[in-house]
A and B are shown apart, each in its own frame.
Chain A
Amino acid sequence: MYGFLGKILRVNLTSGTIAEEALSESLVKKYLGGRGLGTKIYMDEVAKDTDVYSPDNKLILLTGPLTGTLATSAGRLMWITKAPLTGTIGCANSGGEFGPELKYAGFDGIIFEGKAEKPVYLYVNDGKAELRPADDLWGKTVYETTDAVVAATDPDAKVCCIGPAGENRVLYAAIMNEKHRAAGRGGIGAVMGSKNLKAVATRGTGGIKVADPKGFLEACTNARDILKANPVTGTGLGAYGTEILVNIINSSGGMPKNNWRDGAVDPDADEISGETLADKYLVRKKGCFACSMACGRVTKIKDGPYKSAGEGPEYEAAWALGSSCGIHDLAAICKVNFLCNEYGMDPITLGSTFACAMELFDKGLLTLEEMGGNLVFGNTDSIVEFALKTAKREGFGDKLAEGSYRLAESHGAPELSMSVKKQEMPAYDGRSLQGMGLEYATSNRGGCHVRGYLTSPEILGIPVKLDPLVTEGKAAILKTFQDLTAVVDSIGICLFTTFGIGLPEIANMLRTCTGWDFTDEELLAAGDRIWNLEKIYNMGQGFTKKDDTLPPRLLREPLPEGPAKGKVCELDVMLNEYYQLRGWSDQGVPTKEKLSELGL
């Protein structure tokens, strides 16, 4: 098989045994790799009533066929398991260099099963793998763990690990790699922690071959040229990172304030924008492996109470810790973002859970005594304090570690959790961006912007400009976006490349890499298949149409100001059309015909 190494590792943490297995080419052709293949393997191997923290649960790490090659931004790896936060399929991906290095070491992925008796880490080195004790790493931060594992293995080793948040099963713990890259959402880090698996290190000196070298070089060169010429991928993301969106989304009236309570126009937004970040704290831009866009921010707060250094923040993190909490001190936001990386937590859910607690307090449903602090709108210091408490599950941090839904529910007001399927929605108001509302409601991993990023057409005009305030046409484009994203997440390239390149360019790179013969339409259909597979998993977990919804605030409370003044999200009309276009029943259940058409 070209592109792939054709081998995965199966690591049983209970018995300490490690076995090598061949990848089935027929399975790979059908599910591509990464997200698709991982979900298929997970569903085949894990009984659907398995508890997320049971040793019977599995945690799967997979790369894609393009990972580690010259394809555009081809550094992605994907983690698949059940998500502790949502109970849905959990898949989270990240860039950096770990995925490519694992392939250079000879493997496309790793299946972790069982549970180690004591903390361990796995070292994969050029075709060999061993489990090593990690007792002395337990309790260490992501930075400390990464440095210690590199020192104990190889100076050029790449390391994935969890921080204290993953050990303490914070429901939105991340798995980090190269310190600053996060497979962030859904709490997969807690699953890693539940297995007593602290880290995975890899070092490889092998290579990856492609089926048609000349054709592949042409396809990659063409795709790279397109990205270079595109204003978003060639200029904007590199200049200001994803934080470039602050002023863009805010001026569209789509940046929710104070737990989505006080409209979606933040007059102080520029204080936390990408432009301000570049002006005050940016050291340099950074690209993940093979990436020309370089949206990564290497940032440093040189002095003051929030003196610190690290990478980020992304737009969604800056919003969650910023506007959503009534906070506009970018230094503090950077500091908390660094802490999220260091302790291994998702800043979107963390900030949104803070915001939820702040509104519970405003409503008199939560007291300062219960909090043991002043986690209130606008209190900048409190987000630093409670980020640490959450990672350590200290005091009220123990409640914050459960995410906003469980927090709000335990205080009698679940409607104050700005989440879908218990995962918090990020940074784009579904009332001002109607399509994003549909995206949140239908996402297979709960509230999420990167399953089908309709901000692209609704705001950025990519690939066509659609009016964000109307519902017409949103279901159809969302389906295409979701299917294409499923492909992108499975083959190992970054979703951001799709601001510039589309299905034809992606299909060309994959065809020449693997040597497979398929049409563009067949590739997109694989995305449809993957989407339906995830849907089937979620149905098996008891999710139904009633879960494909939004917090009541988005459905009933009109926006008070801005371009979307008076708007709620008109979800029902879009959802019915979406189900139809997907070939699902009016209850959102895939029909037999649809499943057989997809070969499921």
Chain B
Amino acid sequence: MVLKPEKCLSCRTCELICSFTRAEEFNPQLSAVSVISYDKAMISVPIMCTQCEEAPCMKVCPVEAIYKDENGTKIVDYKKCIGCKMCISACPLGNMAFDGNAVFKCNLCGGEPQCAKFCPSGAIEYKETNPSSLIKRKELAEKFRDVFGEVE
């Protein structure tokens, strides 16, 4: 998942489609993604599970109900989950939640994340990417090019 807050429209379509996909109702409370808006700072930030490499939710689970699938997605196995909510305490990003019956998190919709599909602005994208910051390095390099480069 690639999150770009600077592109977020704060429309919360991601919350709608997520809760609908998960629970068949429109309810931001049941969404694994949330848009947090800052009125005075004039920005909105989508927040969701980023599939940590060393996932605390998975590590802390006493019954090993959270596993990593072949794509690296952390998935809750509801047959094993006892609802102890330790994963909610452990997640440093606040991306484990409880819907009244069970814990839930983003499972990337089995490889086709609906939030990314419905996001109208490209603030949430699902794509192959290398988070080695080459993209950001390129952005910085472009500034040097613009300032010091020859005019084409």
Question: In the docked arrangement, what's the CA distance between A68 and B13, Å?
Answer: 10
Cβ A104 vs Cβ B16 within 8 A: no
Is A535 interfacial (CB 8 A cutoff)?
A: no
Q: Are B42 and A289 in contact (CB under 8 A)?
A: no
Most interface-central of B19, B27, B30, B121 (chain A CB within 10 A): B27
Q: How far is the CB of A354 from chain B (nearest CB, A)?
A: 29
Q: What are the residues of chain A within 8 A of B20 when measuring CB–CB?
A: 70, 213, 217
Q: Is the CB of B13 within 8 A of A288?
A: no
The docked-state distance in angstroms from the alpha carbon of A69 to that of B16 is 7
B30 touches A207 (CB 8 A): yes
Q: Are A104 and B43 in contact (CB under 8 A)?
A: no
| Partner-contacting stretch, out of B4-12, B69-77, B127-135, B138-146 | B4-12
Contact assessment for A291 and B11 in the assembled complex, using a CB-CB cutoff below 8 Å? yes
Residue-wise, chain A 175-215 has the 8 Å CB interface mask toward B (1 for contact) of: 00011000000000000000000000000011111100100
A35 contacts the other chain (Cβ, under 8 Å)?
Answer: no
Alpha-carbon gap, A55 to B30, bound state (A):
41
Chain A binding site: helix, strand, loop or mixed by DSSP? loop
Q: Shortest CB–CB separation between residue A425 and chain B, in angstroms?
A: 31
Measured CA separation A292–B13 after assembly (Å): 8
In the complex, B23 has a CB within 8 A of chain A: yes
How far does the alpha carbon of A107 sit from the alpha carbon of B13 in the complex, in Å?
21
Chain B, interface SS category: mixed
Q: Is the CB of A294 within 8 A of B13?
A: no
Q: Is A280 an interface residue (CB 8 A)?
A: no
Which residues on A sit within 8 Å (CB–CB) of B44? 286
Expressed in whole angstroms, the Cα–Cα distance for A398 and B84 within the complex equals 63
At the interface, yes or no: A445 with Cβ under 8 Å from chain B? Answer: no
- Quick check: A290 and B9 within 8 Å, CB to CB? no
Are B120 and A298 within 8 A (Cβ)? Answer: no
Assess the A224–B27 pair: CB atoms within 8 A: no
State the CA gap A285–B13 with chains docked (Å): 15
Contact of B24 among A213, A224, A228, A294 (CB under 8 A): A213
Residues of A within 8 A of B118 (CB): 70, 224
Closest to B34 in A: A156
Whether, in the assembled complex, B112 has its beta carbon less than 8 Å from a beta carbon of chain A, the answer is no
Interface string of B42-63 (1 = CB under 8 A from A): 1110000000000000000000
Question: Are A179 and B39 within 8 A (Cβ)?
Answer: yes
Contact A209 B42 (CB under 8 A): no
The residues in A between 449 and 485 inclusive whose CB is less than 8 angstroms from any CB of B are none
| CB pair A209 B24 closer than 8 Å | yes
Contact of A290 among B6, B16, B19, B23 (CB under 8 A): B16
Q: Is the CB of A289 within 8 A of B120?
A: no
Roughly how many angstroms separate A456 CA and B70 CA in the complex, as a whole number? Answer: 52
| A287/B120 contact (C-beta < 8 A), A70-B16, A179-B39 known | yes
CA distance A209 to B118 in the complex (A): 19
Cβ of A134 under 8 Å from chain B: no
A150 to B140, CA, bound (A): 40
Cβ contact within 8 Å between B11 and A208: no
**Which of chain A's residues has its CB closest to B117's CB?**
A221
| Closest Cβ–Cβ distance, residue B115 to chain A (whole Å) | 12
Identity of the chain A residue whose Cβ is nearest the Cβ of B29 in the assembled complex: A205
In the complex, are the beta carbons of B120 and A209 less than 8 A apart? Answer: no
How far apart are A284's CB and chain B's nearest CB, in angstroms?
7
Answer yes or no: A309 CB below 8 A from chain B CBs: yes
Residues on B with C-beta less than 8 A from A209 are 24-26
User: Is there contact, CB below 8 Å, between A104 and B29?
Assistant: yes
Complex-state Cα separation, A224 to B28, whole angstroms: 20
A287 touches B29 (CB 8 A): no
Chain A nearest CB: distance from B10 CB in Å? Answer: 6
User: Nearest Cβ in chain B — how far from A9, in angstroms?
Assistant: 20
Please name all residues of chain B whose beta carbon is closer than 8 Å to the beta carbon of A366 when the two chains form the complex: none
Residue of A nearest to B23 (CB): A207
In residues 259-316 of chain A, which contact B (Cβ within 8 Å)?
283-292, 294, 298, 300, 309
Question: A292 with B26: in contact, given A217-B20, A298-B42 (CB under 8 Å)?
Answer: no
Given A69-B26, A290-B12, A294-B9, the answer on whether A283 and B42 have CB atoms closer than 8 Å is yes
Please give the distance in Å from B40's CB to the nearest CB on chain A: 8
Which chain B residue lies CB-closest to A213?
Answer: B24
Minimum CB–CB distance from B33 to chain A (whole Å) comes to: 14
Q: Are B9 and A286 in contact (CB under 8 A)?
A: yes
Tell me whether A167 is interfacial, beta carbon within 8 Å.
Answer: no
Q: Is the CB of A291 within 8 A of B9?
A: yes
Asked whether, in the complex, the Cβ of B42 is within 8 Å of the Cβ of A309, the reply is yes
Distance of A358 Cα from B136 Cα, bound (Å) = 54
Instruction: Kindly list 14 other residue pairs between chains A and B, CB separation below 8 angstroms, not including A70-B26, A104-B29, A292-B120.
Output: A69-B26, A97-B12, A104-B27, A205-B29, A206-B29, A207-B25, A207-B30, A284-B43, A286-B10, A290-B12, A291-B9, A291-B13, A292-B11, A294-B11
5 A-B contacts (beta carbon < 8 Å):
A206-B27, A288-B11, A290-B12, A291-B11, A292-B11
The 5 closest A-B pairs by CB, nearest first: A207-B27, A292-B120, A287-B11, A207-B25, A287-B9
